[in-house]
Structure 1
């Protein structure tokens, strides 16, 4: 099979591992920068031109589209779809997952548990917003934030009001969520491939840090998910139509609560924490389904 990994950086751990496992399985694997692809739109003849050739020989793609290039990256994925090329995640599902508000609305309709959440259109009644999620402390998140950026813990009413007023003044759209104290700065990341959980880790924020992101100095260890946690991960994957994704959740007194679903999860942290060959699982998923 000819497999293309859509990635802007061939040196990234996730990209390198997918190349390694694809080659081991006997496939031709190529890394292509989606921003250097030219989309040719013609009646019944969709094409993609890259550097010196047409990409008309590709059997399957693995999108590794960064959030900063979502628009053009997804346009390239969509063009491959028009060419009947198999993709591990579709362009629509990537776009759906990147819109935090839209994805939370779909997930709650599907019955997925999550922290109490409020979104308003720059409401001046910030006190009511805070009360709606149970009072302080609260988590305030930028809709466009990634890897823990644009996430604030407001521990007092005055702090929450000040942050919300500041974001409103900048016309930055945010969501406000209840703070799950019993999670103690930790969360769970489940890696789903082909609708099944193939690995899970518990991420713990460094001392004094409420965000558990590994990019922010957090640590990770393998964890065995219970039945409710497994169900939530697979339910979230189905709701957003993401057969390959990372599902982040909190452990609370009322059961697991979903934080977000990542359509391009990093593989380094979870492979090292669990010892599982997640990259190989993604390649074998393509083998089972691309035709």
Structure 2
């Protein structure tokens, strides 16, 4: 009887619906180990690095699938950084966590790879804001660097509102991203990338009176077939940030598609509803394929 490869899923203790979907599908192909992020222990013992959960060595697996949310990005980085010392395949290295959970770093990395992104500034003080005032146009989007699920995103109609936001951020000692507003019908595109392929795509349509199209912000998932241009940009964006599996969010502008975010912990519920496909199964099958190819080489 063929032995199933061992899949480690690193996740918050309270499973998201997407994690439940992946666990359900993965049980068919893998022997599963599910480790809550907060309960993983990283140790250095006699110059030897160890990662343990519940007294077990969790490096003796065939694939690591992290489901790390923005709240746990720092410890998630430390865990994946430790895993980088072991020859276990996973969808990204630790550096990708730092990039993907920071919207401005993401924009820098994408721009360096010649991938279209909105015009963006990052400021922390009123003085810094004053120096770019003449270069910005209203309305615009103001974003926190680490927001997710549509949180920390504000539609700003005028300079008075922007000045109020800057004042609040200055008190909190937080940076704020000031990004051009791209006129569109209130929708964006989400593309799920796995390796060199797109395995799912949808449009997200904002609810009335809302500028954010995220499903968590009340947006509605809708059927959409990605164009070759959107596929190419999405795959290049994933490679630029170093993610083998991720979602790429885009907006159609007058000049063509622009990338607004790369999400290394994407939800699959909306994509599943929009496509009528078992997206979790596609992700698991891709992970199984990567695992099988890796095990044949070692």
Q: Shorter-chain TM-score: what band?
A: over 0.9
Residues 123 and 41 of structure 1: is their aligned pair in 2 closer, same or farther, counting only changes over 3 Å?
same
Measured after TM superposition, the shift of residue 125 of structure 1 is 5.5
Is the contact between residue 190 and residue 247 of structure 1 (CA under 8 Å) also seen in structure 2? yes
- Give the alignment's Cα RMSD to 1 decimal: 1.8
Consecutive unaligned residues of structure 1, counting only runs of 5 or more, are none
1:136 maps to: 138
Displacement over 3 Å in runs of 4+ = 42-45, 125-128
Q: Give a deviation string over 1:113-133, Cα, whole Å, max 9, x none.
A: 111111234242635534323
Is the contact between residue 100 and residue 106 of structure 2 (CA under 8 Å) also seen in structure 1? yes
Consecutive unaligned residues of structure 2, counting only runs of 5 or more, are none
Residues 138 and 86 of structure 1: is their aligned pair in 2 closer, same or farther, counting only changes over 3 Å?
same
Measured after TM superposition, the shift of residue 52 of structure 1 is 3.1
Q: TM-score, normalised by structure 1?
A: 0.92
Q: Map 1:4-19 onto structure 2 (within 5 A).
A: 4-9=8-13, 11-19=15-23
- The SS at the match of 2:116 is coil
Q: Map 1:172-251 onto structure 2 (within 5 A).
A: 172-181=174-183, 183-251=184-252
How many residues matched? Answer: 288
Q: Map 1:1-291 onto structure 2 (within 5 A).
A: 1-9=5-13, 11-25=15-29, 27-42=30-45, 45-124=48-127, 126=129, 128-133=131-136, 135-181=137-183, 183-290=184-291, 291=294
Is the contact between residue 250 and residue 259 of structure 1 (CA under 8 Å) also seen in structure 2? yes
- The SS at the match of 2:179 is strand
Q: Give a deviation string over 1:226-262, Cα, whole Å, max 9, x none.
A: 2221121111111111111110111111101111101
Residues 10 and 194 of structure 1: is their aligned pair in 2 closer, same or farther, counting only changes over 3 Å?
farther
Is the contact between residue 5 and residue 63 of structure 1 (CA under 8 Å) also seen in structure 2? yes
